[in-house]
Amino acid sequence: MDLSFSEQDEAYRQKLRDWIAGNKDLATRTMKGIDDKGDRNPIQAMRDWQRHLYEAGYVGMSWPKAYGGYECSLTEQVIVNEELARAHLPPTINTIGLTIVAPTLIQHGNEDQKKEHLKRILRGDDIWCQGFSEPGAGSDLASLRTAAVVEDDQFVVTGQKVWTSVGPIADRCVLLVRTDKDAPKREGITYLLVDMKSEGITVQPLRNAGGGSHFSEVFFDEVKVPRGNMVGELHGGWAIARSTLDNERSGLSGVVALENNFKKLLELVEAGTRSGKPALEDPQTLNQIAQYWIEIEGLRYLGYRTLSEQLKGQKPGPQASVGKLFSSKLRQAMAKSALEIAGPYAALTKKSPHVLNRGRWVAGFFDSLGYSIGGGTSEIMHNVIAERVLELPRSVED
């Protein structure tokens, strides 16, 4: 076993670090919401940031060159993900476009669709949102009811989607609709690309338990979608959606995010006290943070195992599917500990003059609660491990 990177890879890493160091001002400006023209426009600033990242070669690294990608090696992608996460840079605004829409189009889209959308996704010109979940179709996504009727050369869509991230600012949406009510539920679904400016679409922000509005509800009232915006075959949408939901990742960039959280937790421990003594001398506190350190190490080595398999062109083994379940649990435990270590002031809102770190710990706590729900609940992840890894009989017949 050997965890070292080749000299070539290390040179690539250095080049990236130089780019990051040379673009500190740009990153700070973006965080402040100032765009390339110098105007205060947070959304435009984030689009500009993604375009700069792309032009430097750090977005779309795995994509074919024909569609604007860079065809980088897997190791280079891992290096970029790690370094970007480590440097606390602004995120890419078009995450759904980059991680869900584009892989889908590359795999299943026709040439026109690829030419029309891929480059714009890379440059942050179009921000995409995902219209999959519905009020009545969460874990059981295939029971979705938003309906599309075929009329001449267009679909007419009516229904409601929910948990739509970036809904209010999205330019386009990937939408799952029911096109055959009588077919078995997985065989009557079609995959559409929808312009969010179409007539009949209403977006309503949805506040989450922590008070933020990252999601929205999207209502469709007889929205017309050209037939050319269908991906794949009529009624063939379920398999297409599944193929990108199953996109396994090594999870190594998630490990860097956890390490960043852990560093903040350590700073809290360093500053905190327990029974009149530094928290660092409290055995129970040390025991707890040691456990988190162990679990982050575990996730890192888990990620390396997955990456090794991917580098050899193998299908990722069982460790890939335990990563999400494990990391959401860990994230929540750490966030809860942070509140406890920070003490009673950690429970104050931003409005209080005594608020700690501008309410970061409370926000982190509420944030962490979403990780075991979004992208497949922990209960569903248990089912996935039980059924696909342990090959136990299905718990639900449908």
Judged by CB under 8 A, which stretch of 62-70, 96-104, 117-125, 382-390 contacts other proteins?
382-390
Min dist CB 262 to other proteins, Å, is 9
Is 11 a binder of other proteins (CB under 8 A)? Answer: no
Region 151-190 residues binding other proteins, contact defined as CB under 8 A: none
Cα–Cα distance measured from residue 83 to residue 393, given in angstroms and rounded to the nearest whole number: 41
Interface with other proteins, residue 297, by CB under 8 A: yes
Would you say 176 or 268 has its CB closer to other proteins? Answer: 268
The answer to whether 289 contacts other proteins (rule: CB under 8 A) is yes
Binder to other proteins among 3, 21, 38, 315 (CB under 8 A)? 3
Nearest alpha-carbon partner for 162 in 128, 130, 197, 199: 130
Task: Tell me the C-alpha to C-alpha distance, in Å, between residue 174 and each of 62, 93, 102, 143.
Answer: 21, 16, 10, 17
Q: Does 73 bind other proteins (CB under 8 A)?
A: no
Q: Which residues on adjacent β-strands are paired with residue 176?
A: 191
Question: Contact between 380 and other proteins (CB under 8 A)?
Answer: no
Taking the complex as a whole, the smallest distance from the CB of residue 26 to other proteins amounts, in Å, to 27
Q: Which stretch binds other proteins (CB under 8 A): 197-205, 207-215, 227-235, 294-302?
A: 294-302
Type of residue found at 92: T
Candidates 66, 136, 294, 345: give the one binding other proteins (CB under 8 A): 294
List Cβ neighbours of 104 (8 Å cut-off, separation of 6 or more).
174, 191, 231, 240, 241, 243, 244
* Angle at CA of residue 215, ends 213 and 217, nearest 5°: 115
Alpha-carbon distance of 83 to 55, in angstroms, equals 17
Q: Which stretch binds other proteins (CB under 8 A): 13-21, 123-131, 221-229, 319-327?
A: 319-327
Q: Is 302 in the site for other proteins (CB under 8 A)?
A: yes
Count of residues interacting with other proteins (CB under 8 A): 51
Cα(357)–Cα(29) distance, rounded to whole angstroms?
Answer: 21
Three-state SS across 177-200? EECCCCCCHHHCEEEEEEECCCCC
Binding site for other proteins (CB under 8 A): 1-6, 75, 266, 270, 280, 283, 286-287, 289-291, 293-295, 297-302, 304-305, 307-309, 311-312, 318-319, 322, 325-326, 379, 381-383, 385-387, 389-395
